[in-house]
Amino acid sequence: MGIETQKQQSSVAEAVEQLVAVNPYNPDILPDLENYVNEQLNQRIFGFFHFASVNVNPITVVCHNQVSSQTYSLDANLCLLRLYQFEPERLSTQIVARILVKALMAMPAPDFSLCLFLIPERVVLCLNPAGNSLSHLVSWILRALRFTMVGEANMGLPDQCGFCGMNQEGDVPNVRNFLEFLNAIEDFATIIFYHFSREKISRFVQMEEQFKTLIVLSHYLETARFRQFWDEAAKSRHIVEAVPGFEHAIQAYALHVLTLSYQKVPRSVLAESINIEGLSLDKFLEHQATNSGWILEKGQGRGQLIILPQNEFNHPELKKSTADSIPLDHITRIFPILS
C-alpha cells in the first residue's frame, strides 16, 4: 500500500511536470494548475469523491490520481504564479496562499522566496479594482492601509493623509481628490519602504493578511526561531492546518538544521525545535534511535543529550575532497587525443 501510494505520488509529480515542460508559457493550462494546487491540499476533504475523468486533458487525470497523495512540484507552482503575474485579473489569493504554505514545507530549499519574487504587490490596486468601481477601489485601499498600519503607530501617517477621515464620513471622493489620494498612498508606501531597515517583520506591506502571516512564519523558520514559529503557527491554524503534513514537514526542516549544527544536542533544545514534549518525545526518540541511528546519552546532572547521526556538516572530517574528482564529460574532451 505504502509503495503503491509512493508510486502514484511520483507519477503525479512527473505528469504535472511534464505538462509544464510541454506548455511553459500557455495561459490555457492555468485552470489545470489551479486544480492541481487545490487537489494536493484538499485531499482529505475530497478523498472520497469520485472524479469522472471525462476530460482527456492529461492534468485532469493527474488530479484524479493524486487525490489521496501528497505531491509537490515547484515547477508547476512557479508556472501558475507566472501565469498570475502575466494576467493578474485571474489571480486567486486563496491558491497563492496554498502555494506559499507548500513552499514553506519545502524548506530548507528557497522555494518560499522564489514564490514571493513572483507575486506582485499592487496587483489588486492597479489591475483588478474589483469590477472597476471606484468605491470598491477605495474600500480596498483602506483595507490595505489597515493591514499596513498594524504596528505602525509610532511611524505616523504623512500629513497629506487627511483622507482617512473621508472613510468615516463615508464619502466617495471625486476624481481629483482621488488622484491625490493615490499619490498619498504611494508616498506612504515609499515611506514604509525607506523605513524598511528599521522595520519589524510585522510591518511588511502585503495585500492580504494571510500572506503576512505566512511571511512571518517564513521569517521565523529562516532565522531558526522555532519557538516563535510554533507559537505563531498555533495562532494561525486555519491557514496551516488546511495542508496535510505541514507539521511533519517543518519538523523535518528543524531536524535538518539541528543535524547541520550539532553533534550532541540537549533534549530541551530538540523539544523546542520540533514542538514535541514529554511522553511523545520519548516515543519519538525511541523511534529515531531504532530507525535513524540516534543515540541517547544520559546527561550528567543536567538534561538528556542526544547524539545526532554523523554527516559532513557536523563532522567536517567526513567531507569528501572534491578536488580529486573530475566529471566524466570533462574527460571525454581528451578522448580523441588519447586514442
Q: Which of residues 31-70 bind other proteins (CB under 8 A)?
A: none
Stretch that binds other proteins, among 1-9, 40-48, 49-57, 106-114 (CB under 8 A): 106-114
Which of 27, 151, 162, 309 binds other proteins (CB under 8 A)? It is 27
68: Cβ–Cβ under 8 A, 6 or more apart, which residues?
Answer: 5, 8, 43, 47
Ramachandran region, residue 156 (left: φ > 0; alpha: ψ -120 to 50; beta: rest)? left
Q: What angle do CA 190, 194, 199 make, to 5 degrees?
A: 115
- Spatial distance between the Cα atoms of 80 and 76, rounded to a whole number of angstroms: 6
Q: Which of residues 291-310 bind other proteins (CB under 8 A)?
A: 305
Stretch that binds other proteins, among 45-53, 61-69, 76-84, 239-247 (CB under 8 A): 76-84
Which of 262, 282, 284, 289 binds other proteins (CB under 8 A)? It is 262
Number of residues that bind other proteins (CB under 8 A): 72
Binding characters for other proteins, 198-217, by CB under 8 A (x = yes): x-------------------
Which of 110, 151, 162, 309 binds other proteins (CB under 8 A)? It is 110
Is residue 110 within 8 Å of residue 259, measured between CB atoms?
no
Q: Which amino acid is at 133?
A: S
Residue 305 DSSP one-character state: E
Q: Write the DSSP string, 73-137.
A: -HHHHHHHHHHHHH-GGG--HHHHHHHHHHHHHTTTSTHHHHHHTTS-SSHHHHH--TTT-HHHH
- Distances, alpha carbon 281 to alpha carbons 170, 256, 262, 274, 305, in Å: 56, 17, 18, 9, 13
Q: Which of residues 128-187 bind other proteins (CB under 8 A)?
A: 129, 132, 175, 178-179, 182
User: Measured from the CB of residue 90, what is the shortest distance to other proteins in angstroms?
Assistant: 10
Stretch that binds other proteins, among 43-51, 220-228, 238-246, 280-288 (CB under 8 A): 220-228
Which of 6, 53, 55, 223 binds other proteins (CB under 8 A)? It is 223
User: Measured from the CB of residue 133, what is the shortest distance to other proteins in angstroms?
Assistant: 10
The C-alpha cell that represents 9 in the structure block: 505520488
User: Measured from the CB of residue 52, what is the shortest distance to other proteins in angstroms?
Assistant: 32
Q: Is 234 in the site for other proteins (CB under 8 A)?
A: no
User: Measured from the CB of residue 228, what is the shortest distance to other proteins in angstroms?
Assistant: 9
The C-alpha cell that represents 76 in the structure block: 508547476
Pick 68 or 187: Cβ nearer other proteins = 187
Q: Which of residues 315-334 bind other proteins (CB under 8 A)?
A: 315-316, 319, 321-326, 329-334
- Spatial distance between the Cα atoms of 62 and 52, rounded to a whole number of angstroms: 12
314: Cβ–Cβ under 8 A, 6 or more apart, which residues?
Answer: 259, 260, 261, 262, 263, 308
Q: Which of residues 111-130 bind other proteins (CB under 8 A)?
A: 113-114, 116-118, 120-122, 126-127, 129
Counting every residue, how long is the chain? 339
Pick 4 or 324: Cβ nearer other proteins = 324
307 pairs with which residues across the strands?
A: 264, 295
Pick 49 or 196: Cβ nearer other proteins = 196
Stretch that binds other proteins, among 57-65, 141-149, 164-172, 253-261 (CB under 8 A): 253-261
